[in-house]
Amino acid sequence: MSNGKKKLLFGIAGLVLIGILVALYMLFLSSPKPFPDREKLVDEINRVYRDGAAQDIQDVIYLDHKNVYVPFVSASDEYSMSVWEWKYNKWKLIYVTTEGMPILWLLDRNDPSAHRILWNLHPDDGVDALQLYLINNRGYQISHRSNQVYDSIYTPKVQVDHRISLQQSSYGAMALPDEWITINKELEQLKKVNQSYMLPMQSVTSNIRVNTYDKDNHVVFPERSVNGRSYSNGRLHYQFIMFINESDIEMMQ
């Protein structure tokens, strides 16, 4: 092969490599473009998920620079939620629900400081406040190793709460309280010890619970916020936050 042909092939290979690098940068490393305006958000929600029936965008809340929470009201007066992600060089709608009860959104599955709690309750439910609880039940387990040697593992009781007022707004997004993140780290260490002795524990963040209270601080059932329809792009980014019975809440002295 002549030197001229070699130079031509090397030049073509170099251009192909540059093209691949540019494409990879655009797909995975490029900075997000400005977020779509509200009219385009409505159009995209209704294009991707017709049952969302978006009509009025309430707010645009950045969870981080590549994830955005958009609460909205549907044409059927449903107080709904949507989440968008910057991916493959575009803003992509990845989740819609016409339910408004809190969910735990996992921006990073392994980092509780990156988790966000999202909600959008219907005003007609008369919910004045959300009461969130981080719960870990106490327990004592004994595991047998060998030669009549036993290990005992104690799991402490944890019950901490955080109150969210809905007086000013039906919707919102919040990070886990700092105290919860600290407790989570300590319980995760205990979880690792338990796993080493084949004693499984639930994920700590799966133990978040919620209750809903009216303006007189009575428990009220949010009927219009618990029924609805949902869409996701197939990837699990969230956990549902379940109700807690008042009988399961220990009264602190």
Reduced to 3 DSSP states, what percent helix, strand and coil does the chain have, rounded to the nearest 5?
30, 35, 35
**What does the pLDDT read at residue 14?**
57
| Residue 252 DSSP label | P
Q: Beta strand pairing status for 242-243 and 208-213?
A: parallel
Please, is 245 exposed, middle or buried when counting C-beta atoms within 10 Å of its C-beta (0-12, 13-18, 19+)? exposed
Q: What does the alpha-carbon distance between residue 151 and residue 194 come to, in Å, rounded to a whole number?
A: 10
Q: What does the alpha-carbon distance between residue 161 and residue 250 come to, in Å, rounded to a whole number?
A: 11
DSSP assignment of 76-98 equals T--EEEEEEEEETTEEEEEEEES
Helix residue ranges per DSSP H, the chain? 3-24, 38-48, 178-196, 223-226
**What does the pLDDT read at residue 248?**
81
**What does the pLDDT read at residue 6?**
57
Q: What does the alpha-carbon distance between residue 209 and residue 133 come to, in Å, rounded to a whole number?
A: 5
- Identify any residues that bridge with 230 across adjacent strands, giving them in sequence order: 97
**What does the pLDDT read at residue 231?**
95
Q: What does the alpha-carbon distance between residue 24 and residue 14 come to, in Å, rounded to a whole number?
A: 15
Per residue of the chain (253 residues), give pLDDT as tens.
666 665 556 556 555 555 454 444 444 456 799 999 999 999 999 999 999 999 999 999 999 999 999 999 999 999 999 999 999 999 999 999 999 999 999 999 889 999 999 999 999 999 999 999 998 877 666 665 556 555 666 677 889 999 999 999 999 999 999 999 998 888 777 766 665 544 444 555 678 999 999 999 999 999 999 989 999 987 778 999 999 988 888 765 4
Q: What does the alpha-carbon distance between residue 205 and residue 158 come to, in Å, rounded to a whole number?
A: 12
pTM of the model: 0.81
Q: Quick one: CA torsion of 196, 201, 202, 204, rounded to 10 degrees?
A: -80
